[in-house]
């Protein structure tokens, strides 16, 4: 079970490769199936026995998406809200993390623990009072109704990751900056920020993913079609019976809605992994 691959017989190597292939296939299968469905002509979608490969593939469903529902709006809303919430969240988290990183042991641990506890609350607990608040402020169908809660709910994770990264920065660098005559702001700009940039990027990616994927609040606070995010927009189709759903279009919608995330993960896999594990290991 150790890394001495040189001394291991070849049989287990083949077994591992097989297992790995199985895992990868399992991970990719549902998404791949959706993509295939999205490209099949209607008749082939509902054919039994199942037609596996579209022949010929058709773009009709993808096109129809834009006719039927304001799908483009959904995507834009998701992007805008997620981006805004990420910006707000990471900014606040960065400030907070800077402060927490220099607290004495017990204060720091206590604060982080409190944040952890906050993150464990089932969201359903907060839903109705937030809804009341949103209504009272007249923010139903307004992006702010989602931006603020999203930023808040992702704060614990963001603070965990950033605080860990900040603590890892050697204190000597700050001292060297002071001795070199830099002010606090100067040190922030020239020493801390550049070094913390990778962690900020990681945090931003993680928060963006969580915001994009959120469903419960989006479903509840956005009732008008034009205001919906892509998760609420697509999934709200499920209200009707599953047999009446145009699966071709739906599949196309699913694929397009999830494509950005797949891209994010494939591009930033290393960052995401390190950010998550750092956050989780502390627990």
Partner 1 sequence: MSMVELRGEEITKDFADGARALDRVSFVARPGRVLTLLGPSGCGKSTLLRIVAGLERATSGRLRLGDEPFDDVPAGRRGVGFVFQNYALYPHLTVEGNLSLALEAGRVPRGEIRRRVAETAEWLGLGGLLGRRPGQLSGGQQQRVALGRALVRRPRLYLLDEPLSNLDALLREGMRAELKALFARVGATVIYVTHDQTEAMSLSDDLIVLRAGRVLQCAGPLEVHRRPADVFVATFVGSPRMSVWRGRRDGDVLACRGVQVPVPRGLGGNGELCVGIRPEDVEVATSPLEGGWPGELEVVEPLGSQVLLTLRVGGERVRALAAPAERPAASWVRWPGGSLHWFEAESGRRLEPDGPTVEVIR
Partner 2 sequence: MSGAGLTRERTLLLFPALLLLALVVAVPILRVVQLGFHRVELDGGIALHWAGLEPYARLWQDGRWWGALRNTAVFTGASVALELVLGVAVALLLHERFRGRGLARALVMVPWALPTAIMALAWAWIFNDAFGVLNDLLGRLGLVRGPVAWLGGPGTAMLALVVADVWKTTPFVALIVLAGLQGIPEPVLEAARVDGLSAAQRFRRVLLPLLGPSLLVAVAFRAVQAYGAFDLPYVMTGGGPGGATETVSLYAYRNYFRYLDFGYGSAVAVQGALLAALLAAALMGLAGRRGRVRA
Site for partner 1 in 2-61 (CB under 8 A): 2, 4, 6-7
Residues 60, 41 contacting (CB under 8 angstroms): yes
Tokens for 262, please give them. Answer: 């797949």
Q: Shortest Cβ distance from residue 214 to partner 2 (Å)?
A: 8
Q: Considering the complex, state which of residue 67 and residue 242 has its C-beta at the smaller distance from partner 2.
A: 242
Q: Which is nearer to partner 2, 57 or 131 (CB)?
A: 131
CB neighbour list of residue 78: distance below 8 Å, 6 or more residues apart: 212, 229, 230, 231, 257
Residue 211 · residue 81 · CB < 8 Å: yes
83 lies in the binding site for partner 2 (CB under 8 A): no
Q: How far does the chain reach from its first CA to its final CA, in angstroms?
A: 26
CB neighbours of 240 closer than 8 A, spacing ≥ 6? Answer: none
> Treating both helix axes as pointing N-terminal to C-terminal, what angle do 144-168 and 193-213 enclose, rounded to 10 degrees?
140
Minimal distance, residue 23 CB to partner 1, in Å: 25
Interface residue with partner 2, options 76, 87, 92, 144 (CB under 8 A): 92
Sequence-distant (≥ 6) Cβ neighbours of residue 27 within 8 angstroms: none
Q: How far is the CB of 27 from partner 2 (least distance, A)?
A: 5
Question: Contact between 173 and partner 2 (CB under 8 A)?
Answer: no
Binding span for partner 1 by CB under 8 A among 1-9, 34-42, 139-147, 237-245: 1-9
1 lies in the binding site for partner 1 (CB under 8 A):
no
Task: Report whether 229 contacts 146 (CB < 8 A).
Answer: yes
In a 13 Å sphere around the CA of 166, the CA atoms on its Cβ side amount to 24
Give the total of residues touching partner 1 (CB under 8 A): 4
Q: Which is nearer to partner 2, 2 or 56 (CB)?
A: 2
Residue 6 near which of partner 1, partner 2, none (CB within 5-8 Å, type-dependent)? partner 1
Q: Is 122 near partner 2 (CB under 8 A)?
A: yes
Tokens linked to 215: 């469903």
194 contact, one of partner 2, partner 1, none, CB 5-8 Å limit per kind = none
Q: With binding defined as CB under 8 A, does residue 99 bind partner 2?
A: yes
d(CA 138, CA 125): 21
Q: Please say whether the beta carbons of 154 and 89 come within 8 A.
A: yes
- Picked from partner 1, partner 2, none, the partner binding residue 265 (CB below 5 to 8 A depending on kind) is partner 2
What value does the CA radius of gyration of the chain take, rounded to a whole number of Å?
23
Question: Which residues within the stretch 9-48 sit at the binding site for partner 2 (CB under 8 A)?
Answer: 16, 19-20, 23-24, 26-28, 30-31, 33-34, 37, 45-48
Q: Between residue 221 and residue 240, which ones bind partner 2 under the rule CB under 8 A?
A: 230-232, 234-235, 237-238
- Out of partner 2, partner 1, none, which partner does residue 124 contact, by CB within 5 to 8 A per kind? partner 2
Site for partner 2 contains 152 (CB under 8 A): yes
Do residues 36 and 53 make contact, with C-beta atoms less than 8 angstroms apart?
yes
Give residues in contact with partner 1 (CB under 8 A). 2, 4, 6-7
């Amino acid at each position: 079970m150790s890394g001495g691959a040189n001394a291991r017989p070849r049989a287990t190597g083949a077994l591992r490769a097989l297992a790995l292939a199985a895992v990868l296939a399992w991970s990719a299968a549902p998404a791949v199936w959706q993509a295939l469905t999205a490209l099949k002509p209607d008749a082939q979608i509902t054919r039994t026995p199942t037609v596996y490969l579209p022949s010929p593939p058709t773009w009709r469903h993808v096109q129809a998406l834009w006719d039927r529902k304001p799908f483009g709006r959904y995507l834009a809303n998701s992007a805008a809200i997620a981006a805004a919430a990420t910006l707000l969240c990471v900014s606040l988290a960065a400030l907070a993390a800077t402060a927490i990183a220099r607290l004495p042991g017990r204060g720091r641990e206590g604060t982080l623990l409190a944040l952890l506890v906050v993150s464990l609350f089932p969201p359903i607990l907060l839903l109705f009072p937030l809804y009341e608040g949103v209504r009272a402020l007249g923010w139903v169908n307004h992006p702010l109704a989602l931006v603020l809660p999203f930023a808040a709910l992702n704060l614990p994770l963001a603070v965990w990751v950033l605080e860990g990264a900040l603590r890892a920065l050697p204190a000597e660098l700050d001292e060297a900056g002071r001795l070199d005559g830099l002010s606090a702001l100067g040190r922030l700009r020239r020493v801390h920020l550049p070094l913390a940039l990778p962690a900020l990027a990681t945090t931003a990616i993680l928060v963006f993913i969580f915001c994009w994927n959120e469903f419960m609040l989006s479903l509840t606070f956005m009732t008008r079609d034009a205001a919906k995010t892509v998760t609420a927009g697509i999934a709200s189709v499920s209200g009707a019976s599953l047999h009446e759903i145009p699966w071709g279009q739906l599949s196309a919608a699913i694929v397009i809605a999830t494509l950005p995330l797949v891209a994010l993960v494939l591009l930033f896999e290393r960052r995401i992994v390190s950010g998550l594990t750092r956050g989780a290991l502390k627990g």
